[in-house]
Amino acid sequence: MSKNFSWSDEYSVGIDEIDEQHKTLFKLVNRLHKAITDKEGSSVCGSILDELVDYTRVHFALEQTLMRIGNYPDYEAHCVLHKNLVSEVEALQQKIASGRAAISFELLQFLRNWLTKHILSEDMKYGQYFQKKGQQKEIGQWSADSRSAMEKHKKKSSWWKFW
């Protein structure tokens, strides 16, 4: 498994705020990889995984809001994909907390695969939809306004916990 989970333009959906959030997800997965590789222990790895899950929930909420206000036709199906991932990861977190599972490279590979596949297939669809409708500027402004509101409520580095 390569050490670096690198962002490239192939992952861009054409909406700056969403792309920035996807980059943050990549960074969190890389932090988890480093913690596993450096054998930092379950407490550190668990904390990073918790941060990744929290951030993912907020990211999904923003995506879903954008899809809803933009009348994205596959909104419901996309929400189901998000719900399923959150359920899978929450179940894993419970197993980890109870000692029935460990944070491992397999978990990391699952997260990497899910993230890249989801961006390249599902997220690209709504990106193309908004571009086709010429809405990416409007959506981008809404995203920037949302980020600004969240920044005003920033606490340490966990700005997304405002949601």
pLDDT at 60: 94
**Domain chopping of the chain, boundaries:** 15-143
Report the distance separating Cα 115 and Cα 69, nearest Å.
24
pLDDT at 92: 83
Would you call 93 helix, strand, or coil by DSSP?
A: helix
Over residues 135-142, the mean pLDDT reads: 64
Report the distance separating Cα 31 and Cα 52, nearest Å.
10
Q: Judge contact between 16 and 137, C-beta under 8 A.
A: no
Report the distance separating Cα 135 and Cα 163, nearest Å.
24
Distance of CA 151 to the CA centre of its chain: 18
Report the distance separating Cα 3 and Cα 120, nearest Å.
21
pLDDT at 135: 65
pTM for this one? 0.81
Give tens-digit pLDDT for 83-130.
999 898 888 888 888 888 788 888 888 889 999 999 999 999 999 998
Answer CATH for 15-143 from 3.40.640.10, 1.20.120.50, 3.40.50.720, 2.40.128.20: 1.20.120.50
CA nearest to 103, candidates 41, 15, 154: 41
What b/e readout covers 102-133, taking b as 16+ CB neighbours within 10 angstroms?
A: ebeeebbeebbeebbebbeebbbbbbebbeee
Report the distance separating Cα 134 and Cα 91, nearest Å.
39
Better pLDDT: 160 or 116: 116
